[in-house]
Amino acid sequence: MAYVTSTNALWIRLEGGEGSVKAARELLGGEEVAGQFWQQLREQQLPFFSLPGTLWRISLPSDAPMMDLPGEQLIDWGGALRWLKSTAEDNQIHRIARNAGGHATRF
């Protein structure tokens, strides 16, 4: 799963047997994206990563709630990884991550 706050778009990667993936896709609807999307996400090559601001990698518990982070977010790994593009001060980002049970790395 990947979610970008600025575009309000959600991408879900389905894996499994052909029949179960097809059934899930029909149930969920939406548009199929090329596999290169996931590669671009993995390699930080999506347009999100070109947005202005400092790039942060915030690692959190997988059950961490949505957070009001100062900037644009890309949420990955089912919520456990938050990419953030922000102009906020380093100590603010570190404090937010720590308070949510995680840590932040300036990328």
DSSP secondary structure string, 29-80?
A: ------THHHHHHHTT-SGGGGSSSEEEEEE--TTPPP---SSEEEEEGGGT
Domain of residue 70: give its range.
Answer: 2-106
Work out how many domains the chain is built from and give that number.
1
pLDDT single digits (tens) 21-42: 889 989 988 888 888 988 999 9
pLDDT top residue among 83 and 5: 83
pTM of the prediction? 0.83
Eight-class DSSP state of 96? H
